[in-house]
Amino acid sequence: MTTFTWTVSQLNCYPQSDNKTNVVFNIHWRCTGTDGNYTGTVYSTASVPAPTDSFTQFADLTKDQVLGWLWANGVDQTATETAVQQQIDNQINPPVLNLNPPWSV
């Protein structure tokens, strides 16, 4: 069974925007799946819109909140985890083998 881990490695912020400080506009993220000795990963970035009604101070942001922004703004959690799982499945049961000719051993 594959265990998926979502990581946020960096947040790009505007220093000042609409009288707010350190306003996140871009999220660097990674989804890694592990199944025994096999791993797969997807890394990307996602833009998020400027805050409207509510604003959380940078120091008060949580991983769950930022991941929620990802999934609400175009990152498909299920599709991403499916892509990672496909990488792992291809390691377990390779769809293509690269073999040397038998006479070149």
E strand or H helix at 90, and its extent?
helix 77-92
Taking the CA atoms of the chain, what radius of gyration do you get in angstroms? 19
For the entire predicted model, the pTM comes to 0.88
Model confidence at 105, pLDDT cuts 50, 70, 90, reads: low
For the stretch 27-68, pLDDT in tens is 999 999 999 999 999 999 999 999 888 899 999 999 999 999
Percent of the chain with pLDDT over 90: 92
Contact status, residue 12 vs residue 66, Cβ threshold 8 Å: no
95: which DSSP letter?
A: S
- Which pLDDT belongs to residue 52? 83
Q: Percent helix, strand, coil in the chain (nearest 5)? A: 30, 40, 30
Task: List the domain boundaries for the chain.
Answer: 3-104
CA atoms of 9 and 31, how far apart (whole Å): 11
